[in-house]
Amino acid sequence: MIQQIDGPGDVDDAAIADGSDETPTVSREAGSESELVRSADVLPPLLHLLPLPERPLFPAQVLSIWIPEESWLDTVKAVGETPHKLLGLVLVKGESAAEAKPADFYPVGTVVRMHNPSRQEGRIQFVAEGIQRLRICDWISRVPPYLVEVSYPKSPEEDPDQVRAYGTAIVNTIKELLPLNPLYGEQLQMFLAQVRPSQAEPFADFAANLTTASKEDLQEVLETIPVLPRMEKVLVLPKKELDIARLQAEIRKGVEERMSEQQHKFFLKEQLKEIQQELGIAKDDRTAELDRFKERLKTLAPSKEAEKRIDEEMDKRKKSP
């Protein structure tokens, strides 16, 4: 059962969604991630924080977030009381978000807008609309609900030709991955319908998020503010992905070839047995086994009762498949 968050810190869904139930998108002018509807100079200097234990969230992402209600309900209510409905999502060290302490938070995260928060089976779910990178400058509250002072770093202008060259290299690497993982193709087509490789920042972040890189590698990309160094780091990630995918394909092909060779040998042996039996130059395994038993019995002197039982068992063996 899904329950809308209520109580003293009631979250007004109509205010959050700005009157719309549709999935939110981040509006941009072509060619720049920093040209947002909500630009850095109107983003708040103080933000509440929520932890992400598995992967960082990048600007330009829209993602469904699930967090433990017991630990973070007060934070979500506090965000719901703000006029902007903004908060910081920051990767934490360790595997659990339930008891994240200030020392566990990485210094750089993403400011997001919270949409449609609800409660379900002890967890809180909401849609996070990524907006821009944030850097934690100071802790105002070191106990939940965490409140921090933040800044919003901007990347310097870069040579557009270099940006385009890196963007093309990243696209080409991802395209090489398409035959090995069709999921990349669907995500790439959806993204390229909205963002071009020349739009360096969102494109670099998308390419990083597309990979299965470790959370530490992804956080390093998030913390790299200048675009070109960031794209250099990003280019390495799909190349690693491609190397792994090629190695997996080679291993799979080798296993299939060995299995095919073994099956081929098995069929040949079975055919040879059939031919030998047809020609009378070989016995099947069951007949050969019974003959060996009879030879061994010749050296024994079993009682009549034992001999009768042996004959019964030999007869069963002869008829059994």
Helices and strands per DSSP (H, E), number in the chain: 9, 7
| Strand segments (E) across the chain | 2-4, 46-52, 62-68, 86-91, 108-120, 123-141, 147-151
Supply the pLDDT for residue 253.
80
Among 21, 59, 18, which Cα is nearest to 40's? 59
Q: Does residue 149 contact residue 137 with C-beta atoms inside 8 Å?
A: yes
Q: Does residue 9 contact residue 78 with C-beta atoms inside 8 Å?
A: yes
Instruction: Give me the architecture of the 2-151 domain, per CATH.
Output: Roll (2.30)
Element (H, E) at 241: helix 227-279
Q: By percentage, how much of the chain surpasses pLDDT 70?
A: 77
Structural tokens at position 321 = 């498949």
- Residue, of 143 and 27, whose pLDDT is higher: 143
Supply the pLDDT for residue 96.
81
Mean pLDDT of 171-185: 73
CATH number of 156-282: 1.20.58.1480
Among 218, 210, 169, which Cα is nearest to 186's? 210
pTM: 0.66
Q: Does residue 148 contact residue 128 with C-beta atoms inside 8 Å?
A: no
